[in-house]
Amino acid sequence: MRHSDWELCPLFTHPQVWAGIDKLAKEKGWSASRLAREAGLDPTTFNRSKRHTNQAKPRWPSTESLAKILDATSTSLETFVALMFDESPTDRSLPSERLRSVGFFDAGQAGLFDESGFPIGEAWDEIDFPGISDKHAFSLEVQGDKMLPVYRDGDLLVISPSASIRRHDQVILKAGAGELLAGSLSRRTAQRLELESFAEGSEKLTFALKDVIWLSRIIWARLGS
């Protein structure tokens, strides 16, 4: 089947194909961005912002990208089609909110957060997360080994910009134009803040409070497979 055949095929609708991709990722305990990465694709391939053009025209995933995710997850085409049409009650057993999600390193790019640390823009993936009360909460997927031994590649961190922060809480910090930093809040005074990195053997990082753009608490973590 050629790429253009998807638009002509009466058996599958645009929402059904994308729902199949989301369900396949969910079955593996992954975000859509991790599914793309595991298949050797750009992590943003399946982002919701990529599912329509700027003119709101439906954009279909390529047959090549579908073949790659099926191969990466050892999923047959028949199983994927079943996922597209599956409307079993188990999918709706727990009330869930849609939570914005992106890879940790990708989160450092401009335009993803406002000055309060609230997620903005359309370059986000989305995942289901039950029982979250902070409408500004978001999730970051750990990439690589820079957070070992606390977190490993593929772990999912849920961050709440509205949660109160105390000493020794695990936090995400944004300072200046650099990448996001993760660690444990070691000390905070009226002028300075100390962050203890998750990486074993790392020295504490000290920041003047005036240089800290935002600081948010990690409220939950899901270990990757």
Same fold, 5-92 and 96-222: no
pLDDT for the residue numbered 91? 40
Low-confidence ranges of the chain (pLDDT < 50): 1-10, 87-96
- Distance from C-alpha of 71 to C-alpha of 208, rounded to nearest angstrom: 49
pLDDT for the residue numbered 131? 67
- Give exposure, 89-98, as e/b (b: 16+ Cβ within 10 Å): eeeeeeeeee
For 162-178, the pLDDT digits (tens) are: 888 999 999 999 987 67
pLDDT for the residue numbered 78? 77
Q: What would the CATH number be for the domain defined by 96-222?
A: 2.10.109.10
What DSSP element (H or E) covers 80?
A: helix 77-85
pLDDT for the residue numbered 179? 79
pLDDT for the residue numbered 95? 43
pLDDT for the residue numbered 128? 78
pLDDT for the residue numbered 11? 56
Token readout for 87 is 């409307």
Q: Where are the domains of the chain?
A: 5-92, 96-222
pLDDT for the residue numbered 218? 93
Predicted TM-score (pTM) of the model is: 0.61
Domain 5-92 has CATH 1.10.260.40: yes
